[in-house]
């Protein structure tokens, strides 16, 4: 299966992209106009069209991903910001390629999502991944940025919010990432909250992460998840993970010991008509985490440095992450990679469990 899938993927540029059309009415509120440049593409017989009722925008799906969705094979969505903005070169592309190779080795089709010249692509080709990972002009794209990127033909890495939105539009059900965005510290004054949470609250996905990044306000983020109706299940734990560390010090109500049980929870959610994301919180292995004492000390210094420098808004997250990397001698970066590997592996198991039962 893996060799066959690689062959399909390698011929991506020889085939015209498949076009997907949205199904759920709620998307009309989020993206109710399509850029004029998209009208030159028209669906063909055989294209993936979950619904003929609403043409709410076009997304290009690689032949490999399109074929897998059509045949009911397991597909796992992956974000692109991890290799466009999250990791240094050349490690960024090494991690991206490794994730895809490991998935194919497990019989799961990778769907790395990004935007190239304004085209939202589900299932980037190797050449497109290389381009996004090496180009200095690549931007970071959240949900709100997608229409601007389309109209201006920008290229960018998609955040959790944008990736989840595009994955759901394409019909993909499982998405693995490193850490989620959430409520920022001092949000009571700034109202600074990631678009990840409200976006995931409107999408029926299963998203595997190592919790929210510990630089955020984790208690407030968990409160927001509850308010938004996001089900949180710990993978073999009731301790909510803190990305770099296995235990943030906060508890969650539910845990699951297997991918099969997580798939059962997702199916029960769908049967009930609930349309929010099931969040699977998988902690990093304790022998791979940052030592908690080191983590807490460095994070405290990072927050003080940000306050002294007057860093805020969109600049705060990259500032804190860069500070963590420098002050830990690169160990935080190593944890980031290990977190991602583990989450991709679990996402593959869940995708296979969902596909195997249908």
pLDDT tens track for 65-119: 999 999 999 999 999 999 999 999 999 999 999 999 999 999 999 999 999 999 9
Which of 141, 172, 203 marks a domain boundary?
Answer: 172
The domain that holds 85 is classified in CATH as 3.40.1790.10
The total number of structural domains that make up the chain: 2
Which residues are paired to 279 by β-bridges? 207, 232
Predicted local confidence at residue 317, as pLDDT: 78
Contact criterion met (CB below 8 Å) for 78 and 110: yes
Predicted local confidence at residue 187, as pLDDT: 58
- Beta-carbon count within 10 A of 270 CB: 14
Domain residue limits at 142: 1-172
CB within 8 Å of 317: residues ≥ 6 apart: 213, 215
* DSSP E strands, the chain: 18-20, 59-61, 75-78, 109-116, 119-122, 139-141, 156-158, 174-176, 206-209, 231-235, 239-240, 250-251, 254-256, 278-281
Query: Is 318 found in the same domain as 292?
Result: yes
Predicted local confidence at residue 20, as pLDDT: 40
Query: Is 149 found in the same domain as 18?
Result: yes
Query: Is 66 found in the same domain as 84?
Result: yes
Separation between Cα atoms, residue 194 and residue 188, nearest integer Å: 14
Query: Is 159 found in the same domain as 109?
Result: yes
Catalytic annotation present for 213: yes
Separation between Cα atoms, residue 250 and residue 247, nearest integer Å: 7
Which of 111, 144, 172 marks a domain boundary?
Answer: 172
CB within 8 Å of 143: residues ≥ 6 apart: 30, 159, 161, 162, 165, 195, 199
Predicted local confidence at residue 191, as pLDDT: 64
The residues of the chain scoring below 50 in pLDDT are 1-56
Residue 273, helix vs strand vs coil: coil
Query: Is 135 found in the same domain as 2?
Result: yes
Query: Is 196 found in the same domain as 159?
Result: no
Query: Is 123 found in the same domain as 204?
Result: no
Which of 110, 143, 172 marks a domain boundary?
Answer: 172
Separation between Cα atoms, residue 222 and residue 128, nearest integer Å: 36
Predicted local confidence at residue 215, as pLDDT: 82
Query: Is 90 found in the same domain as 215?
Result: no
- Predicted model pTM: 0.82
Query: Is 139 found in the same domain as 13?
Result: yes
Q: What is the CA radius of gyration of the chain?
A: 19
pLDDT digits (tens, 9 = 90+) for 190-200: 666 678 999 99
**Which of these is catalytic: 60, 64, 79, 193?**
79
Query: Is 259 found in the same domain as 113?
Result: no
Query: Is 269 found in the same domain as 223?
Result: yes
- Beta-carbon count within 10 A of 136 CB: 4
**Which of these is catalytic: 100, 193, 213, 349?**
213
Query: Is 237 found in the same domain as 158?
Result: no
DSSP code of residue 16: P
């Amino acid at each position: 299966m893996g060799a066959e899938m690689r062959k399909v993927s390698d011929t991506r540029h020889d085939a015209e992209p498949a076009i997907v059309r949205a199904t759920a009415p709620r998307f009309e509120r989020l993206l109710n106009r399509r850029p004029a440049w998209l009208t030159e593409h028209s669906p063909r017989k055989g294209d993936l069209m979950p619904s003929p009722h609403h043409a709410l925008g076009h997304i290009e799906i690689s032949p490999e991903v399109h074929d897998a969705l059509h045949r009911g094979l397991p597909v796992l969505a992956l974000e692109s910001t991890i290799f466009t903005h999250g990791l240094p070169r050349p490690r960024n592309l090494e991690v991206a390629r490794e994730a895809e190779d490991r998935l194919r080795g497990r019989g799961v089709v990778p769907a790395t999502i990004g935007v190239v010249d304004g085209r939202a692509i589900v299932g980037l080709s190797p050449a497109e991944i290389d381009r996004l990972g090496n180009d200095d002009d690549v931007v970071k794209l959240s949900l709100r940025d997608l229409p601007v990127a389309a109209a201006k033909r920008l290229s960018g890495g998609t955040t959790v919010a944008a990736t989840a939105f595009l994955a759901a539009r394409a019909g993909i059900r499982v998405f693995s990432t490193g850490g989620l965005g959430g409520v920022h510290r001092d949000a009571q004054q700034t109202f600074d909250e990631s678009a990840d949470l409200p976006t995931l609250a409107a999408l029926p996905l299963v998203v595997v992460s190592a919790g929210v990044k510990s630089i955020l306000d984790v208690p407030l983020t968990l409160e927001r998840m509850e308010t938004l109706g996001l089900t949180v299940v710990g993978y073999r734990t009731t301790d909510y993970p803190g990305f770099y560390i296995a235990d943030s010090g906060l508890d969650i109500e539910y845990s699951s010991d297997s991918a099969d049980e997580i798939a059962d929870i997702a199916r029960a959610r769908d049967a009930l008509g609930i349309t929010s994301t099931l969040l699977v919180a998988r902690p990093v292995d304790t022998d791979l985490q940052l030592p908690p004492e080191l983590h807490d000390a460095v994070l405290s210094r990072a927050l003080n440095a940000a306050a002294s420098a007057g860093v805020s808004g969109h600049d705060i997250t990259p500032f804190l992450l860069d500070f963590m990397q420098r002050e830990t001698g690169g160990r935080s970066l190593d944890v980031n990679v290990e977190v991602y590997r583990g989450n991709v592996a679990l996402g593959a198991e869940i995708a296979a469990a969902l596909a195997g039962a249908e």
